[in-house]
Structure 1
Amino acid sequence: MQERLDYRKAHSVEEALTLFQDLPRSRYMAGGTDLLPRARGSGQAPSRLVDIKGIPELSRIEELPSGDLRIGAAVSVAAVAAHPTVRQRFSALSLCASALGSYPLRNRATVVGNICNASPCADTAAALLCLDATVLCVGPAGPRRIPIHEFFVGPGQTSLASGELALAVEIPAASAGGRAELGRLSRRQGVDIATVAVLLSVLPQRSPRHRVALLSVAPTPRRASEAETLLDQRGPSAANAAAEAAMAAARPIDDVRGTAAYRREMVGVLLTRAVRALGAA
C-alpha cells in the first residue's frame, strides 16, 4: 500500500526548517513542477512536503541598497521574466526565464526551484551562471552563501546539505547592463526542455566581459571559459575559434532528444549565431 504523503504549509523560514527536521525523507516545495513528477517517476516519494510558497520574505523580488537583486525562492519564473528591473538590468535572466516551458508552467515554477532541480537543461541556470549569482540558504548549521558555479555537482545534485533550504538567489550589481542572446533547440518549439542551448552574455562591468553558458551538453549547466577568453581578446573575429572551444567544453550524451555528436555540433552553431547577432566585441 502506498505510504500517505504528509503535506505541510510553512508560514516562516523557521517553521519550514522545523517541519523538515520532524520527519525523515521530507522535501521542500515551492512550485512543485519538477519535484512531484520526479518523485513519482523514481518511486522514492517524500514522506512530507514542506510548502514554502506562503512565506512572505521568499515571495519578493528586491533591489538591495547595494544595487544587487534578490529573488526569493517562491517567486515564479513568469514573475521574474516580466519584472521591469530584471528586463532592464539583467536581460540574460529575463531571456532565459521566458524560454522555460509553457506559460502555465512558468506561472507555477520558480527560478530557485529550477536550479535546485539541478537538471543539465535548467534554463535559468545559464543566466545565473553568466551573471555570477549567489544562492542564499539556511539549515540546521545556520545561513550560508553558495556561489552559483559551486552549486551544481551532478545531474539532480546540488551542494545543499541535508535539511538546507535555498532562500533566494542574489545577482550582483556589477552584472547589470549588457546584452544577451540565447540559442536554444528543442524537439517541440516553445514548450519542451532544451536538447541543447547556448547563452552568450556581454557584461561591460565584468571580467571576462563575454560569458558563455551551455545547457544539456554536460552533467551540469556549465560555462565555456576558453570561448569567453577568445571573445574577450579578439571580439567577433574569434567567433569560429570560440565555437570550437565551446564544442570542446561540451560533454554531451546520446539520449532520446539527440545524439552527443549532434549536440556538440549545435553548440558551435548556436554560439556562432549568437556572436553574430550581438556583434560581440
Structure 2
Amino acid sequence: MIFPKGRGQPPLVMGILNLTPDSFSDGGRWNDTDSALKHAAEMVEQGASIIDVGAESTRPGCTPVSADEEWSRLEPVLKELKGIVDVPISVDTIKAEVAEKVFSLGVDIINDVNGLRGEGMIEVCADHGASVVISHMYGEYSEMHSVHMSGDYKAEIRDFLYTQSDKAMDAGISADSIIIDPGVGFGKTPEQNLEIIRDCSFLGESYSILIGVSRKRIVSKVYPDMDIDDASAKLSKTAVDSGANIVRVHDVARTVSELRL
C-alpha cells in the first residue's frame, strides 16, 4: 500500500473507531457491533480514507487489557467491517499476538503507538505484507503520560522513527508501506507537542507522516474557548500545512471541511 509523502500531496483523513469502554473521549459509544459498523460507514461517507480501529485505550491512567480481551472487542467488528467499507482498515494495537489474528480478517495496517518495539511485531507485520504506522513514544508504554522529553527532542524523535523504519524494511516491509507518527501527547510537554504540530518538516520526506491531535489535551490548551472537535480540526489543518500527510481524527466531517479551506 502506497501513502502520500512530501509536500503537495492531498492529505488523507484516518477516522477513529474506538471499541473501548474507557477511551478518553468517546469510551463506550461504539461498543456494540451494529453501532460501530454504522459509524465506520458514516466516516467513510464523510471522507475518511482509512478507518483505524482501537480496542485498548491510551488515555492517562488507563488499565492495560490482555490480548484475549482486546481480541474479543475487535473480532465481532472486524469480521464484518471489510464488507461495510471499501477503504483500508487499520488496527491500533501494540501486541503482535493481536496483530497476527486481525490479519485473518482483512486488516491492512497496524498502527503501533509503541513504535514496533514489542516482541515479534515487526516480523508479524512483514510476514503478512502489512503497512505500518510507527509512532514515537518517550519511555515505556506504561509511563508515556508521566515522563517528558528534554534536550534535542526533535532529533531524538526522528532518529527513533528512522531506526525503526530501517528495521521494518530489513524485515521486508517496503518504504512506501511505512507511515511515521511523532506521537503528539506521548511523553512530550505541551510546548513540544505544539511545536511538532506546527513544524513536521523535521521528519523529512522519506516516509508518509501521520499526526494525531484529535481531542487531546493540547487542543484545549491552544483553543480553550472552542468546541473540541472544531479545535481539533483546526490543529489538524495546521499539521497538514506544516507537512503532515495523514491526520487521525474522531470527527471526520469537520476535519474534511477544515482541510478544504
- What TM bracket, shorter-length normalisation? under 0.3
Q: Relative contact order, CA 8 A, sep 6+: which one is greater?
A: 2
TM value normalised by structure 2: 0.28
Q: Given the two structures, how large is their TM-score scaled by the length of structure 1?
A: 0.27
> In terms of Rg, which structure is larger?
1
